[in-house]
């Protein structure tokens, strides 16, 4: 079991630098997500940990041990591939038993090895030892596949294949579990239930897990901590709530959840009430946050903006009130999303919808109320 520490890791493919000076410290038992758009270097990071790629410079430690000199087959990192990479010529049982058979093979003398090779190539030539059988069946039961042990993997559904891949990685009791976009091949519904399954198993076994995804919802809902990557750099590491409420860059604000990111100019900071006044495209805005820069970005989450009928009188010192026009309204079940225009500035607003309230129709003039505390500056 172990922590994973990456120090100053850089990876180049020819002239192209895929990873710039990556630093990560993943605790033992932690569920850690690598989040970022496609092509940002997530898979490369993972392949470096698994030993399929070798960093151009930097160090990787698994459980306090430097792994540079350890080849991929002895790193004991269980990997769940994006395509699952199940062995198509083996049934479910043999897929899961593979690592245990190999372990036995590596520990045997050459004569015994021949026997193990023979039974790996043809069932008729030998039987899987009892202890391996038991272990495999135990883990299959755990992922609810013990009924399908004799099936070919091609006869299973996507979700079942996914669990075979997971069982196959878990049975070797890896120091770290690596998962590369494991849910991306599943349909929406299955994806949600697999999220829970994976999270539960991870908690249950307390296994250090690195989970790669480009889906922020996935990362935010499953991981203890998330590292957001962009163009080969790690831009922020934090818990899901930290990332959401305190994005360090507009990229993260945009990538983690939906945000209104407004270009603003800092015009005044009032020492008495602690409010910063911002001048936007065609509006003034106030925030309780401070920033050193003159040109900044104000980040406002769509659900932090309140929509009110135009004739409402607002007497609240703690909010900014803007006038807007509804450009489009989209009904999303429990919420309604409005595309608004404030002057020339476009804004997205999410409001909870409960029956009885009416939806503001397109073209309608409305008031928008934003709490000073909800205006982030970056």
Partner 1 sequence: MKARFNGLSVVKIFIYAFFGLFLIIPLLAVFLISFTNEPVNIIGTFTDPAVFSSTIDKLKAINLENYRQIFSNAGYLDSLKNSLSLALVVMVLVILICIPLAYGIARTNMPFKKTISALCTIPLIIPTFISAYAFIIMFGRAGWVTYFYEMLGGEGMLIDPYSMTGIILVQVFFFFPYALWPLVAAFKISDVTLEEASLNLGAKNWFTFIFVTFPLAIPGIISSALLIFTVSFSDFGTPIVLAPKDLNLMVVEAYREISGFFNWGGAAILTVIMIIVAALFFWLQHILTKGKNYGSVSGKPKQQKMVTNKVVTRSLSVYSFIIVLVPLLAMLSVLLQSVATTWGKDLLPSGYTLKHYQTIFSTSLGNIQNSIVLAIGALVLSVIIATFVSYFVVRQNSAKMDFMTSIPLVVPGIAFGIALIQTFNVAPLQLTGTAILLIIAYTIRRLPYMVRSTMGAMRAIKQDIEEAAINLGATPLTAAITVIGPLLLPGIAAGSVLVFITVIKETSISILLAPPEWAPMSLAIFQNILRAEYYSAAAMSVILVALVLVLQGLASYIGKKQRL
Binding site for ligand ADP (CB under 6 A): 13, 16, 18, 36, 38-44
Look at residues 252, 205, 250, 303 and name the one whose alpha carbon lies nearest to residue 36.
252
Among 57, 59, 87, 373, binds partner 1 (CB under 8 A): 87
For position 91 contacting partner 1 by CB under 8 A, the verdict is no
**What is the nearest approach in angstroms of ligand ADP to the Cβ of residue 18?**
4
**What is the nearest approach in angstroms of partner 1 to the Cβ of residue 147?**
23
Q: In angstroms, rounded to a whole number, what is the distance separating the alpha carbons of residues 110 and 114?
A: 6
Among 14, 88, 110, 334, binds partner 1 (CB under 8 A): 88
Query: How large is the greatest C-alpha to C-alpha distance in the chain, in angstroms?
Result: 89
In sequence order, the 6+-apart residues with CB closer than 8 A to the CB of 98 are 87, 90, 168
How far does CA 190 lie from the centroid of its chain?
17
In the list partner 1, Mg ion, ligand ADP, none, the entry touching 44 (Cβ below 5 to 8 angstroms by class) is ligand ADP
Among 22, 26, 32, 43, binds Mg ion (CB under 5 A): 43
For position 13 contacting partner 1 by CB under 8 A, the verdict is no
Q: Which residue is nearest to ligand ADP (CB)?
A: 43
The neighbour count for residue 378, using CB atoms within 10 Å, is 18
3-class SS of residue 125: helix
Burial 233-261 (b: 16+ CB within 10 A, else e): ebbbbbebeebbeebeeebbbebbbebbb
Only one of the segments 42-50, 120-128, 349-357, 366-374 lies at the binding site for Mg ion (rule: CB under 5 A); that segment is 42-50
Query: From residue 280 to residue 299, what is the string marking binding to partner 1 with x (rule CB under 8 A)?
Result: --------------------
**What is the nearest approach in angstroms of ligand ADP to the Cβ of residue 183?**
14
For position 375 contacting partner 1 by CB under 8 A, the verdict is no
For position 45 contacting Mg ion by CB under 5 A, the verdict is no
Q: In angstroms, rounded to a whole number, what is the distance separating the alpha carbons of residues 147 and 140?
A: 8
């Amino acid at each position: 079991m172990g922590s994973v520490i990456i120090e100053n890791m850089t990876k180049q493919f020819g002239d192209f630098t895929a990873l710039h000076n990556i630093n990560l410290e993943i605790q033992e038992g932690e569920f850690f997500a690598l989040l970022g758009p496609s092509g940002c270097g997530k898979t490369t990071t993972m392949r470096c940990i698994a030993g399929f790629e070798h960093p151009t410079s930097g160090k990787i430690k698994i459980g306090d041990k430097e792994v540079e000199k350890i080849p991929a087959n002895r790193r004991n990192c269980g990997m769940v591939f994006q395509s699952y990479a199940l062995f198509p010529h083996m049934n479910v049982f043999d897929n899961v038993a593979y690592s245990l058979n190999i372990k036995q093979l590596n520990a045997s003398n050459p004569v015994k090895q021949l026997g193990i090779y023979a039974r790996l190539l043809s069932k008729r030539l030998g039987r899987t030892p009892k202890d391996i059988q038991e272990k495999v069946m135990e883990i299959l039961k755990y992922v609810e596949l013990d009924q399908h042990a004799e099936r070919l993997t091609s006869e299973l559904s996507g979700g079942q294949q996914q669990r075979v891949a997971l069982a196959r990685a878990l049975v070797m009791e890896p120091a770290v579990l690596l998962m590369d976009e494991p849910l991306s091949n599943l349909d929406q519904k299955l994806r949600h239930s697999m999220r829970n399954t994976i999270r539960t198993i991870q908690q249950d076994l307390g296994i250090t897990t690195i989970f790669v995804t480009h889906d922020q919802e996935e990362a935010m809902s499953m991981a203890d901590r998330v590292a957001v990557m962009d163009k080969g750099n790690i831009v922020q590491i934090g818990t899901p709530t930290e990332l959401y409420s305190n994005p360090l860059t507009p990229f993260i604000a945009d990538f983690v959840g939906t945000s209104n990111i407004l270009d603003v100019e800092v015009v005044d900071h009032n020492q008495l009430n602690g409010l910063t006044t911002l001048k936007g495209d065609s509006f003034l805005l106030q925030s309780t946050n401070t920033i050193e820069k003159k040109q900044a970005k104000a980040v406002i989450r769509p659900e932090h903006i309140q929509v009110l009928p135009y004739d409402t009188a607002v007497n609240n010192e703690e909010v900014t009130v803007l006038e807007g026009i509804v450009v489009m309204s989209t009904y999303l079940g429990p919420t309604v999303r409005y595309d608004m225009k404030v002057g020339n500035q476009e804004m997205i607003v999410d409001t909870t919808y409960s029956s009885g309230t009416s939806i503001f129709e397109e073209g309608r003039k409305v008031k928008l109320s934003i709490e000073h505390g909800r205006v982030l500056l970056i």
